[in-house]
Amino acid sequence: MSAILEETSNRLLPRIVLIACGSFSPPTPMHLRMFEIAKDHFEMQGTHKVIGGIVSPTHDAYGKKGLAPGKHRCAMVKLALQSSSWIRLSEWETMQDGWSRTQTVLQYHQNFMNNYINSPDLDNMNGTDKHIPGWLPPVLRERRDPVQLRLLCGADLLESFAVPGLWAEDDIEDIISNHGLVVISRSGSDAEKFVFESDILTKYQRNITLVTNWVSNEVSSTMIRRLLSRGQSAKYLIDDLVLEYIKRFGLFQSKTKYITSLTRPPKQNFLNIAYNNHQTNMQTSSNETTPSDVDDDDDDGDVVTNKEEYMDETDFSTAKIIMPRNNLDNRKPNVFCCGDSKGSGVINKLLGGHTTKKKPSGPGQAVQVVTNEYGVTEIFDEDEMQSKKFKMADV
CATH number, position 140 = 3.40.50.620
**Given this model, what pLDDT does residue 217 score?**
87
**Given this model, what pLDDT does residue 394 score?**
55
Confidence tier at 316 by pLDDT (50, 70, 90): very low
**92 and 231, same domain (yes or no):** no
**Given this model, what pLDDT does residue 190 score?**
85
Residue 59 belongs to what H/E stretch?
none
Q: Which residue in 106, 107, 124, 104 sits closest to 116, CA to CA?
A: 124
Q: What is the pLDDT of residues 374-387, one digit of tens each?
A: 555 666 666 666 66
Number of folded domains that form the chain: 2
Farthest-apart Cα atoms in the chain, separation: 118
Confidence tier at 299 by pLDDT (50, 70, 90): very low
Q: Is residue 264 part of a domain?
A: yes
**49 and 181, same domain (yes or no):** yes
Q: Is residue 358 part of a domain?
A: no
Q: Is residue 322 part of a domain?
A: no
**Given this model, what pLDDT does residue 315 score?**
35
**Given this model, what pLDDT does residue 294 score?**
36
Question: Does the pLDDT value for residue 145 go beyond 60?
Answer: yes
Strands of the sheet containing 87-89, edge to edge, are: 87-89, 49-57, 15-22, 147-154, 181-186, 208-213
Q: Is residue 323 part of a domain?
A: no
Burial-class residue 338 by CB neighbours within 10 Å (0-12, 13-18, 19+): exposed
What is the b/e burial string over 150-170, where b = at least 16 CB atoms within 10 angstroms of the residue's CB? bbbbbbebbeebeeeeebeee
**19 and 158, same domain (yes or no):** yes
Pairing assessment for the beta strands 87-89 and 181-186 based on DSSP bridges: unpaired
Q: What is the pLDDT of residues 27-80, one digit of tens each?
A: 999 999 999 999 999 999 999 999 999 999 999 999 888 999 999 999 999 999
Do the Cβ atoms of 204 and 132 come closer than 8 Å? no
**204 and 243, same domain (yes or no):** no
**230 and 213, same domain (yes or no):** no
Pairing assessment for the beta strands 367-371 and 377-381 based on DSSP bridges: antiparallel
CA distance 233 to 224: 9
Q: Which residue in 215, 217, 213, 196 sits closest to 205, CA to CA?
A: 196
Q: What is the pLDDT of residues 317-348, one digit of tens each?
A: 333 333 444 444 444 444 444 444 444 554 45
CA distance 354 to 359: 7
CA distance 94 to 73: 10
**138 and 260, same domain (yes or no):** no
CA distance 43 to 211: 13
CA distance 216 to 195: 22
**209 and 232, same domain (yes or no):** no
Q: Which of 14-28, 138-152, 189-203, 287-301 has the lowest mean pLDDT?
A: 287-301
Tell me the residue range of the domain where 67 lies.
15-119+134-217
Q: Is residue 78 part of a domain?
A: yes
**267 and 144, same domain (yes or no):** no
Confidence tier at 12 by pLDDT (50, 70, 90): very high
Question: Does the pLDDT value for residue 255 go beyond 90?
Answer: no
Secondary structure tally for the chain: helices H, strands E = 13, 10
**170 and 227, same domain (yes or no):** no
Q: What is the pLDDT of residues 160-178, one digit of tens each?
A: 998 988 999 999 999 999 9
**102 and 227, same domain (yes or no):** no
**263 and 240, same domain (yes or no):** yes
**103 and 241, same domain (yes or no):** no
Do the Cβ atoms of 213 and 184 come closer than 8 Å? yes
Question: Does the pLDDT value for residue 298 go beyond 50?
Answer: no
HSE (side-chain half, CA atoms, 13 Å) at 125:
16
Question: Does the pLDDT value for residue 151 go beyond 50?
Answer: yes
Give start and end residues of each alpha helix (H) in the chain: 2-10, 29-45, 70-80, 102-118, 155-160, 169-178, 191-197, 199-203, 221-229, 240-249, 267-289, 344-350, 382-394
Do the Cβ atoms of 233 and 227 come closer than 8 Å? yes
Q: Which of 7-11, 132-136, 296-300 has the lowest mean pLDDT?
A: 296-300
Q: What is the pLDDT of residues 194-246, one digit of tens each?
A: 999 999 999 999 999 999 999 988 899 999 999 999 999 999 999 999 999 99
In the DSSP assignment, the letter for residue 235 is B
**End of a domain among 155, 190, 217?**
217
Is the bond preceding 26 in cis, omega lying within 30 degrees of 0?
yes
